[in-house]
Structure 1
Amino acid sequence: MDRLKVGIIGTGFSAQAQMEAIKRLHNAEITAIAASSMEKAEQMAKACGIPAWYDDAYALINDPEVEVIHNCTPNYLHFPLNKAALLAGKHLLSEKPLALNSKESAELAELAKHAKGVSGVCFNYRHYPLVAHLKEAISTEEYGKSFLVSGGYCQDWLLYNTDCNWRMQTEQNGVSRAIADIGSHWCDLLQYITGQNIVELCADLQTVHPVRYQTKRLADGKKAVEPVSVSTEDFGSVLVRFDGGLRGAFTVSQVSAGRKNRLHFEIAAEKACLAWDQEEPNRLWVGRRDEQNGELVRDAALLSPFAGLLTHYPGGHQEGWPDALKNLIQQFYDAVIRKKAGTVNAEASHVASFEQGHRIMQVVDAIMESSRTGRWVSIPAFATAQQS
């Protein structure tokens, strides 16, 4: 079978990580890339052996050779480019957040329902083997009924007031930063694992540095330090209620020293507590009351059949963030191939859909409203947003 022809929009971290993952697969090839300038696009294309390059993302979307679009741009470009790709009938994998707000994401979710291509959102933490194994265990109530979730997502890359980039600018990033950027991952992951949607919440968000200082290089080669006003949150905590009865809380922070990328959670159930940490992704802690605590290590021979499919090396050979991203993209491409073959219900069932991406934007908007008002906020229902 011919390999899928892929176009990448963007050249930053997300784009480079996805390009590396695609190159590890055997059923796709990157045929075009788009960047903010022709110089940047050509440089990246030649470095990566990509035959076509553009300084216009819409030109890439309309390239007849490109079948699959990866939207790896800054947040403010997600909505217009996603909309253009859907209307062009292309298969589309978008970075999160799906849009800047739930009004935009609702439009995209509706378009995706009727689009010719397969669409998905890059919530990559769903695609670790132990996450998949735990999801199945929770769904079958292997550990009894779950009643409490806790955890968070903490980083330190914005700890200092001299840490500053485009994410400080609401017109490019949106009105939420820490919640939309990393809190959205935690919410999607826990909804995916538990099969329950967050329906009510109460949030407290804070900004540590209302003014940050950005260093810019002037035309004469000298540097200047400019103050940047910041209105988006650096950290926050949220109480959550789920539609299936779960309760919980989580904390997000981009100013926690020493925490580089710590997404973690604990699910308390009748027979055990289950805890997982993205920085140690090959271990699932199982806590017991009346017997010794245990630990399940990532080994295909010990996992559920689907989780085993996400495991590519023998036990003891560590797999992590790049491997989960590869799993996401492989599952998405498998769905695209099924769609091209005319298979009924060819959607990528374990990849976050645009409806689920919209649901997360509803959660983000509700968190922002709750923090402003100091009140509990309910999240409106969205037809088929229930997690797969």
Structure 2
Amino acid sequence: MRKVKAAVIGTGFIGKAHVEAIRRMGHVELAAIVLDGQEKADAAAASLHVPKAYGNYRDLLHDSEIEVIHNCTPNHMHFEINKQALLHGKHVLSEKPLTRTYEESQELYLLAREKGLVTGVNFNYRQFPMIQHLRAMVQDNDLGDIRLVRGSYLQDWLFYDTDYNWRIEPEYGGKTRAIGDIGSHVFDLAQYVTGMRIVEVFADTVTAIPKRYKPLHQWSTFHSGSKEETELVDIHTEDYGSVLVKFENGGRGVFTVSQISAGKKNALELHIDGSKASVSWRQEEPNHLDVGFRDKPAETVRRDPGCVKAAALPYLHYPGGHEEGWPESLKNMMLHFYDQVLGMDNRSQSVASFEEGHNIMLIEEAIVKSAETGSWQKIEALY
């Protein structure tokens, strides 16, 4: 198998996670790092032991050795970088959201289809072995008809009014925050696992902390500090949201997201209620599923090669009892993405494409309209 040369743009929290996952695969070479400014790029490349450094991503686009670009920049930079990468013939793995608006995401989706390049959006929670097992349970009709899908994603990293991050500001993060930042994972996961599209939404969102103390200096992800060297600013993105949904098969769903729930660090949960059984999965305890029945004792299915369905086996890398978690989900996503780059069969279709990234943007747009109007909103067609 030949080695594919890749570049990572951005080395914040998620950028460094991409760097680590790339190096764990073996058949992909991290050949370049890109940051805004040559001095910063050189320092990051030296620190991460990467041979090439670019202080401007446009210079990277002309590097013929680079086949794949990992876009790990803040949200407001996703559209133009993704677009230019496609125009220059590069495969693209982008952080979510695909863009800040559905108009931009539609342009990227159509451009990717025209160019015939491999594209991916990092909805990595699809890649957990027990999520793959759960998806296979749905496909095998183990749960019966899906009646209800319940989900939540709760965090506390913006609990205090001194907590601040660029995601709070619409010009950088987009007009929805909790919904777009973490809710997008719930919507994607619900659709991917069940195979059912969300067709209508009814939403309620709240900015519980209407003013926050913004640092006067540069801040990082998960910044938490004091009121020193800050300014008090108005907040225009939501801290919390709840969404009722209708699925295309007539099933119903309810999802809650929050970035102000004390004690919740990365509490993503998915619960599926069918006509035969119900199943629950929790990201902070990712290596088992709880299966419930009406007339017999509940069961727990654990992440073990001898216990999971065949469809989940490619996502396991260690024997039972050797727990795998969030870093493995990122590696799994990249393994399947690079299978596509190398022209190999990707039977699971587990990597979210730009088309699916665009679909999530359409859902978010409908949620914003619903919260503003207090009414049900239909999800627009892809194009």
> Is the shorter-chain TM-score for this pair beyond 0.5, marking a shared fold?
yes
- Residues 104-130 of structure 1: per-residue CA shift (max 9 Å, x gap): 100001001111421111100000001
1:286 aligned onto 2:291: yes
Letter aligned with residue 332 of structure 2: N
Which shows bigger deviation, 199-208 or 58-67?
Answer: 58-67
Letter aligned with residue 90 of structure 1: K
1:216 aligned onto 2:216: yes
Structure 2 residue aligned with 1:86: 86
Task: Note the C-alpha offset of 1:228.
Answer: 2.0
Runs of 5+ in structure 1 lacking a partner?
A: 384-388
1:265 aligned onto 2:248: no
Structure 1 residue aligned with 2:368: 368
1:148 aligned onto 2:148: yes
Please point out which of 218, 227, 235 is paired with 1:230: 235
Secondary structure in structure 2 of the residue aligned to 1:276: strand
1:247 aligned onto 2:281: no
Letter aligned with residue 224 of structure 1: E
Structure 1 residue aligned with 2:190: 190
Secondary structure in structure 1 of the residue aligned to 2:254: strand
Structure 1 residue aligned with 2:335: 330
1:67 aligned onto 2:67: yes
Task: Note the C-alpha offset of 1:131.
Answer: 0.5
1:48 aligned onto 2:51: no
CA RMSD in angstroms comes to 1.5
Secondary structure in structure 2 of the residue aligned to 1:349: coil
Q: Distance in 2 between matches of 1:126 and 1:196?
A: 15
Structure 1 residue aligned with 2:281: 276
Contact 2:143 2:273 in 1 (8 A): no
Structure 2 residue aligned with 1:2: 2
Task: Note the C-alpha offset of 1:349.
Answer: 2.0
Q: Structure 1 length normalisation: TM-score?
A: 0.94
Runs of 5+ in structure 2 lacking a partner?
A: 219-227
Q: Give every structure 1 segment of 4 or more consecutive aligned residues whose post-TM-superposition deviation is greater than 3 Å.
A: 345-348
Task: Note the C-alpha offset of 1:229.
Answer: 1.6
Letter aligned with residue 216 of structure 1: L
- Residues 157-196 of structure 1: per-residue CA shift (max 9 Å, x gap): 0000000121121111110100010000000000000001
1:114 aligned onto 2:114: yes
Q: Number of residues paired by the alignment? A: 374
Q: Structure 2 length normalisation: TM-score?
A: 0.95
Contact 1:335 1:348 in 2 (8 A): no
- Residues 45-72 of structure 1: per-residue CA shift (max 9 Å, x gap): 1111111111111211221111100000
Contact 1:118 1:347 in 2 (8 A): no
Q: Distance in 1 between matches of 2:151 and 2:200?
A: 17
Which shows bigger deviation, 64-73 or 113-122?
Answer: 113-122
Please point out which of 319, 338, 342 is paired with 2:324: 319
- Residues 326-353 of structure 1: per-residue CA shift (max 9 Å, x gap): 0000000011011xxxx7x879822101
Structure 2 residue aligned with 1:95: 95
1:35 aligned onto 2:35: yes
Q: Distance in 1 between matches of 2:316 and 2:346?
A: 23
Contact 2:336 2:346 in 1 (8 A): no
Letter aligned with residue 13 of structure 2: F
Q: Distance in 2 between matches of 1:24 and 1:5?
A: 14
Identity of aligned residues (%): 48
